[in-house]
Amino acid sequence: MPVRRYLLVVGRFVDLDVDTEFNIQVKWSGVRTQHSTTPFVDEMFDRLRDTLNEYEVIISRWPEYIFVLENALADIEKAVIETLEKQYADVLAPLKDGITTKKFGLKYVQKLAKRNSVAPYNVPEELGILLNTMKRLLDVLRPRIEAQLKSWGSCIPDGGNVVPGERLSEVTVLLRAKFRNYLQAVVEKLAENTRVQSSTKLKKIIQDSKGTVMESDIRTRMQPLKEQLIATINHLHSLMEAHVFITICRGLWERMGQDVLSFLENRKENRSWYKGSRVTVTVLDDTFASQMQQLLGNSLQEKDLEPPRSIMEVRSVLCRDASNHKESTFYY
């Protein structure tokens, strides 16, 4: 019984100690580590690991109390996430509309974007730090804590319905969902940028290509959009660590493909825009793949350069239509 009381008290002590740290974390405002993350999180998890090391003797003797410790850790990790969101509330605010309206569907979000679009969205440096930090939490910092708890959990005798790590897994799901939503919101904002000017609006470019014979003319019309995408990709690279950078770039690539796909699906009976669509997706593929390759070099994997699903669907529509057209012409 004394040991259980000691662990509970320690759990409260750690929680209180973290709250104290939260009050002074403003000192890290605008500071980044070599990983382009906020030092606040690394410092907090260093302290958590040190605390776990202090408990190792106790847990090895009474492993059943690992659940008390895990509950305290889960609460602390949730508090860390909440603190990050509060610290970066200003840069998250422009993304909130996209996240909130996501459940209403893509068309609703697009209509809302048309009403609210005033100036192009520029990804701020602070948002890059936040996204990099969330990625580091998911891939590096939290797995270390989970691995240590699981190793201790192997010492618990069989029996019982609770498995060590369940509470921390809940935090993982929460953090991953937030991270995914923020990435998607950034992608949607960047896609909105391409619709601000008619010269970079993808559907307008395809519409204007109707009846155009020369591929070079279509590529010329694509040039303003290509330049905007290159500038966007370069800016993202200056802010994001590699995995976050790749995810957002591929998300935007996918989003551009969705615009082409929706354009074609609404005009299935009219093949006059098909050539423009083919050239358009070719330029998109070349732009994203070549720019990412130029910036990341050999660190890119082959799958990172493959066209996303929406682009493949566009090509499938174009190829299927071309095949059907040839068959109907033959029988005619």
Q: Which of 49-53, 166-170, 213-217, 267-271 has the lowest mean pLDDT?
A: 267-271
Q: Both tokens of residue 315?
A: 């090509």
DSSP, residue by residue, 164-233: TTHHHHHHHHHHHHHHHHHHHHHHHHHHHHTTTSGGG-HHHHHHHTTT---HHHHHHHHHHHHHHHHHHH
Token duo for residue 199: 């010269």
Q: Is the predicted pLDDT of residue 115 greater than 70, yes or no?
A: no
**If 0-12 CB within 10 Å is exposed, 13-18 middle and 19+ buried, where does residue 280 land?**
buried
Percent of the chain with pLDDT over 90: 52
Q: Quick check: 159 and 87 in contact, CB under 8 A? A: no
Query: Which among 218, 323, 310 is positioned nearest to 264, based on CA atoms?
Result: 310
Whole-angstrom distance, CA of residue 240 vs CA of residue 35: 9
Return phi, psi of residue 38, to 5°.
-80, 135
Render pLDDT for 14-52 as a digit per residue (tens, 0 to 9): 443 444 444 434 445 556 677 789 998 998 899 888 888
Alpha-carbon distance of 146 to 293, in angstroms, equals 35
Q: What is the mean pLDDT of residues 181-207?
A: 95
Looking at residue 59, its pLDDT comes to: 84
- Please give the structure tokens belonging to residue 226: 């290509």
Percent of the chain with pLDDT over 70: 76
